[in-house]
Amino acid sequence: MGKLELLRDYNATAHLYDKRYRDEQIPKINFLLDKLRPKEGDILLDVGCGTGLLFERVSCRLILGVDISINMLREAKKRAREGAGSKQNPFGKIKDVELILADAEFLPIRSGSMDIVVSITALQLAGDQDRAIYEMLRVLKDQGSFGISIIKKASIPKGLPNGTEVYDMEEIKDVFCVGRKER
């Protein structure tokens, strides 16, 4: 599926995404957050943030959500605005969230400005995975942490730093890559 078709599909179905995929996505989010352990003062980038499911589960100084679908970002905006203190958000107040309409292969973010970069089940949708990985690492601070999940039938991305840990668990449909940006 090409990017334009993908964009149309996500724009058309954004309002249904949580009903379809929430139960599948939450364990992936929890796994990565457990590995990365974001802190209150961190700036976290969620590449392919979709409806912002991660926003409810993390407390950082700033969360940047990037997605190529305007309708997914609209759903994420609702979650960020309405989610604080709701039943679906037992974690309390959602901190500052900024949303950016952009492609993972061309992130409009200053180099070396993010403490943590996360991408959950989105990288396999990039036209050029290597370019998307390059961009995620470019915006990450030296020694910053990243966590990526990618569906098992896709290949593990190239260009990941030495020492990246790969996790493949039977009960989850994705493979996880977790590591730090080298200096």
Cα 168 to Cα 48: distance, rounded to the nearest angstrom: 21
Based on the structure, what is the number of domains in the chain?
1
Query: What does each of the 183 residues of the chain score in pLDDT, given as a tens digit?
Result: 677 787 778 768 888 878 888 999 999 999 999 999 999 999 999 999 999 999 989 989 999 999 999 999 999 999 888 765 444 444 445 568 999 999 999 999 999 999 999 999 998 888 888 999 999 999 999 999 999 999 888 888 888 998 999 999 888 889 999 999 987
Domain of 8 in residue numbering reads as 3-180
CATH number at residue 52: 3.40.50.150
Contact 60, 93 (CB under 8 A): no
pLDDT digits (tens, 9 = 90+) for 4-13: 787 778 768 8
In eight-state DSSP terms, residue 9 is: H
Handedness of CA 61, 80, 17, 128 (dihedral sign): negative
As given in the structure block, the two tokens for residue 40 are 């209150």
Q: Rounded to the nearest 10 degrees, what angle do helices 17-36 and 70-82 cross at? A: 70
As given in the structure block, the two tokens for residue 44 are 């976290």
Shortest CA distance to 50 belongs to which of 25, 30, 28, 32?
25
Radius of gyration of the chain (CA): 15
Burial level of 95, CB count in 10 A (0-12/13-18/19+)? Answer: middle
Q: Specify which residues 67 forms β-bridges with.
A: 101
Q: Specify which residues 120 forms β-bridges with.
A: 149
